[in-house]
Every structure is written in structure tokens, then in C-alpha cells.
Chain A
Amino acid sequence: MKSAVKKFKGLSDKAIAWIFIAPTLILLLAINIYPLIYAIRMSFTNFYANKIGREVKFVGLKNYKKILGKEEIWEKMQITAHFVCWTLVIQALIGLGLALLLNKKFKGNELLTTLIVLPMMLSPAVVGVFWTYLYNPQVGLFNYVVNFFYDFGIFDMIGSSTLAPWSIVIVDTWMWTPFTMLICLAGLRSIPNYLYEAAEVDRASKWQQFIHITLPSVLPFLLLALLFRGIENFKMFDLVAELTSGGPGSATELASINLKREAFEKWKTGYSSAFAVILFVTIFGFGNVYVKVMNKIKDR
């Protein structure tokens, strides 16, 4: 035992650091990096995971060319872009609004915060299933509430090609706005009070205080929340799969739903690996640009 301690004591700081990070590194390599490299390798082949014994051929960039030249893939990307953009815009506005509201001290503040945060704690699959009931044109609560304000008659949110893309935006907003709100709230609470006191002394209006103190201070937090939400929504699968299955037709078939169908229903492993790589590069590229922009804003 003593010798072991001695040996440990004899290790350099660098060696001890390596001992601590090695398990994480090994795990990361095994479950993230290796599959990624394997998927990249697969993407250049005609491999089908269900066709046992079939010769696997190297096909070069054929899968990539096929995907990028397919009009339908671009349609799925457009559907994904519509979903991502609108959810981000709406969640940013409502999330920030709610954070501003909850930043005020009033009776029931804590209870309200808990209630608002609840949807975020539910499983997306469960949310998808129960919103199909809420959207039911005959007995759904959503349709009842809408018709209470204006009588649209019977309308089918998830069965109509015009409404279905909005139906998934609404559900995602309902579920994930609390996340944006919480991050913004953390930002708001980190603003020192003396800034507002100084502004009061300078006779700045509430609007000026919001534009010149609140917004710049909370913006890096908001952008961070949107980065997380953007990445998550680009990969969105479970909620939409349960809610609409990508339908009607392909009106809500996001890129990830299409990818899952190609990979695990059609078993086009090579082709879907290429598609996954394209999606990964897209998210990675957008993410990097976004982080750079975010850092610039933060530095200002």
C-alpha cells in the first residue's frame, strides 16, 4: 500500500491529469468518435445492414451525389428549416418575455415558474401522443379553445398540409420555451442592480433601460439557449414522429425522420450514413459560425 502511494506520489501532474481524463476520453472515443469514423467510412459504400452476405462495394461519392441531387431531400431540409427557424424565433420572444415577467417579484411567482417549467420535464414521446388528442378536431381542447375566440368550424391541425407544419412548431414551443426562459432568467438575475440605479440617476426611461442594459446583458444567454435549441431541433425526431409520423404525406417529414426511415426501415446503411454525415456537417458548420457570432456579441 505504501509503495502504491509512493508510486502515485511520484507521478507528475500531467500524468495524474491523464489518469483522470482517460476514462472519459476512452468512453468518448468508443461511443462518439469511433462510430463517427465508422459512419464516414460506411458513407462511401453500398452497405445494407440487413443484406447479410451481400458484397460491400466502395462507391466513392455516389451516395453524397445522390442525396444532394435529390429534390426530395431538399424538401425535407426546407421543412426542417421552417421548423427550426420558427421555433427559435417564437421561443426567443416568448421565453424572453416570460423571463422578464418572472424576474419581477410578485405573489405566486415561484408556483408560476414551476408550472411553466413542467412541460420541459415530460418525455417528448408522451407530449407527442397527448397533443394528438389535444389537436383532435372533434374533441380536442386546442380546437375548442381556438373556436372559443373565433369560430373556424372543424379544422384538423395534423391532417392539413398547411396547418401540420405549424402544429409541430406549437407543440415544440409549448414544451421548450421554458428552457429559453430559464436561461434568460439566469441572465436577467446576473445583471447588477447598480446599472439600473445609475440609469435612473441619468433619467433613462424604462424602454431605454431595456434597450441599453437588459437586452445587451441577456443577449449572450439568449443566444446560448437558441444555440442549444437550434441543434436539438435540427435533430428533432421523437416528438414529431409521435405527433404526425411526418405526415400528412411528407408535410412534416423532417430530415431526421427521413434519415431514420432510410437507415432503420429501408436499411440503406451506406446511403443513410452519407446523409447523417451531411446533417452533421451542416449542424457543425452552422454551430461554429453561430458561436463565433455569439462570441463577438459577448465581447462587445
Chain B
Amino acid sequence: MKKILSVFLVPVFALLFSLNAKSESLTLGWAAWDPANALQELSKEFTAETGVEMNFEFVPWPNFAERMLNELNNQGKTFDLLIGDSQWIGQGAEYGHYVKLNDFFDANGISMDDFNPATVYAYSTWPKGSPNYYALPAMGDALAWAYRKDWFDRPELQAEFKGKHGYDLGVPKTWDELYDMCTFFQGREIDGQVRYGAAINTERGSEGITMGVTAAMYAWGMEYENPDKAYDMDGYFNSDASVEAVEFYRKMYEDCAPPGHSDAYMVANLDAYKSGQVAFQMNWYAFWPGVSKEDSDGRVSGFFANPCQNVCAATLGGQGISVVKYSDKQDLALEYMKWFAKPDIQQKWWDLGGYSCHMDVLGSPDFVDSAVYAQGFLDSMGIVKDFWQEPTFVELMLPMQERIHDYVVNGKGSAKEALDKIIDDWTEVFEDDGKI
């Protein structure tokens, strides 16, 4: 009898034990891109240290916001940890999706002073700039540019460019120079193939064209609102400088983009660049480790921060890591966050291709020389500007996507009309939200 019992009971207990062991797991949600793979690799160390299994759900960028925000709005328990876009912080805090982290930080000696101030402001705080933290800066990022250094280095092209424009072909310092260089390469035959100027953001569905056009608008000095009067946008967002920037972006699209580049964002820009179609690509720093890896001797690609125009500024990307309020494993999730905040883990994060925001990493004497894009990243993080981070950010983003795409790609109306209409749309959103 005993034998029979042991034959049946041992496997049952073993199964129960294994199920119990597997219940010590966390699920982390993020976008499907190179840094996510690096994080997955890094997290193996957490599993080795703690025995907690890490599961990941990486969602492709076009569906990322929709998938994650739907999950949060439905108070779903799929994710214990979420690396959400910077613009979600208002929604995460105000609608109670994210756990407030102040007490946890205090109890575990995690200081926000140890992280880059721009990233703390953008990824962690709500209301903006207040000492209320809902995320730990996880992945610093900004919109930047890569260029075909091997083409730029050709003496005959250098001579021709200098003869035409009177200055050297090199990293553009302003958007005007960028335009000169883009048009210089547009339609040019190099090594028997027709090349084009620049792969810029034109995507309509999610946030692509907004992220692209704001890179120009910030450089022209655009402000979303009156600094002294919140939500007073007229004369700021649609200022003459903003109008000029949007017109310039359209000019870039018309004169520099490869044919068919009318609905392009991260991957499409990357593809256009990697396939040798374009001289420049606009993209997030997150992609540069991948681009750089394929160019081991550094002869093909060069990288630079968003060019200045009236001012120096760059579009902020990147994300903070938050604990989801609806998770049943908040304590375990906080353990992961504590582990992730350690300086040595942050260093490994950078080494693997993630963009650490920790000052120990960024301030290290070796940092600038650790990657060809490191200096650009540091420069960019000092000049970043972000889209509205209001809880209603999706409602603010969608009309901007539509109006800007309508003007830049579709050629409908004027830049001023587009910006005026965006202000009308935004006013309606803010009124509806009780902000005005």
C-alpha cells in the first residue's frame, strides 16, 4: 500500500512543488526592440541571484501604447512591472495605475539624485518636477541622427559639396546644414545605386510624425504653452518659429525622403539606412548599438545629436520602470526594481546595450569613450524636451498626428492652419478634462 501511495503521491507533490516554485515569477512588459533583448539578458542575473523567474512580453512599437494602456485601463494583472513611455506617467499616476515609489525609495536608500536629472524629471515625476516618483529611470533615450560616414569621407564628394555650399561636408550643426547635405545626396548615384537624403519620421498611426516634427520644432524654439500661464497655447505652440519649423520639416520630406517614405518610423528608417538607400536616418539612440555593432571598425556610420537651429534641443524618448498597482506581486516587483537600481547592474545594463540613466555610469571617465554615440547621448540628454505628459496624452497625440501628417505628407492646407487646428483640438481636450 505504501509503495502504491508513494508511486502516486511523489509525482503529485513534485508537481505541486514545481508549480509553487514557478509561482515565484514576475512578468515585465515593454516594447519589442533591441534594448528589451538586452534587459532580458541582464535579468538572468536577477533570476540567478533570487530564483525569481522573469517573464517578458514585448509588444511591437505600433501596438505598444494601445496594448499596454488597454491593459492598465482594464486593471489587468498581466504585468507586474511595466516599462512605459515617458508620456504615460501622468495617466499612470492620476488614474492610479502605477505604485507610488517614494516610501520604497526612502526605505531602500535609492536616491533620485543618483540619476540624470532630465530623466528623473521626464520618466519619474508627477506632477512634473515634484518629488512624487512613480517610476525609476530605466532607459534614457532621445531622437538623434546616424549618417553614412563612408560616403561623407569620399574626397570627390567632399570637394563637390564644398564647391557648392562653401563649407565642409560633415556632421551638420544646424537644420539648414542638414537640409543642404540631404539634398546633396538626394537622387545621387553612389556605387551604381541611386541614393536619397534622409529617412525621417512620417508615421501616421501612433506617434512617429509627431516625434519627428517636434525634433525640428524644439530646435526652432517651440514652447507648448505660455510659461507663466498653463494651457495658454496660442502664440506659443503656433508661433512664427513653430510654423517655420513645420514648413521646414515638410521641405525635408519633399526634398530628402526616399520614395514611398510616407508612413515610416523606427524600423522603416532603420531599414532605409541599412539597405543603403539614405545618407541620414532619424532615430532613437536605442538603435545605435545595433547599427554600431554591424560596423565594427566604425568606418560606415557616424552619429550625432539633433542639430540646433535657433536653440539646441532634442525630442525625448526613453522610459521609466514602474510597478503596476494591479499586480499581486508588488513586493517581488519592487525587489526587482531595487536590484535594477544598483550601480553595478546599471553599468552592466549600459554594457549590454541599454541606456542607463545612473550618474555613476554616465559620469564615469570611461563613459564617453565606451561607444561612438556615447558623447552624443550625453549631449542630447542635456537638451531634451518632451511632448505633453498629461493623463490625456493620447487624446493630445492623435490630433497632432493627423494634422501634421495631413500637412507634411498629404500637403493639405498650411503649417499655420495645422498648428491652429491642433490648438483647437487640445483646448477641447483640456476643457473636457477640467484643466481650462
Contacts and interface: CB of A to CB of B under 8 A. Distances in A.
Given A154-B259, A156-B259, A249 B412 contact: yes
Contacts of B96: 52
B167 interface: no
Contacts of A253: 402
Contacts, number: 87
A44 to B, nearest CB: 16
A145 to B, nearest CB: 16
A156 B262 contact: yes
B226 interface: no
A51 B394 CA distance: 13
Contacts of B403: 249
B95 A51 contact: yes
Interface residues of A, number: 31
A245 B405 CA distance: 11
The CB with the most chain B CB atoms within 10 A, among A137, A247, A251, is that of: A247
B410 A248 contact: yes
Interface string A78-97: 00000000000000000000
Nearest to A241: B205
Nearest to A268: B395
A50 interface: yes
Nearest to A161: B410
A159 B395 contact: no
A154 B261 CA distance: 12
Contacts of B204: 244-249
Contact of A264 (B66, B395, B402): B66
A159 B402 CA distance: 14
A161 B260 CA distance: 13
Contacts of A154: 259
Contacts of A52: 73, 75, 95-96
Given A248-B410, A249-B410, A250-B406, A159 B263 contact: yes
A261 interface: yes
B394 A265 contact: yes
B278 to A, nearest CB: 12
- Most B CB contacts (10 A, CB to CB) among A52, A138, A264 go to A138
Given A247-B204, A251-B410, A136 B260 contact: yes
Interface string B63-89: 000100110010100000000000000
A49 interface: yes
A183 interface: no
Interface in B273-328: 277
B425 to A, nearest CB: 10
A266 interface: yes
11 contacts: A52-B95, A52-B96, A137-B259, A137-B260, A156-B262, A159-B263, A247-B263, A248-B406, A249-B405, A249-B412, A250-B405
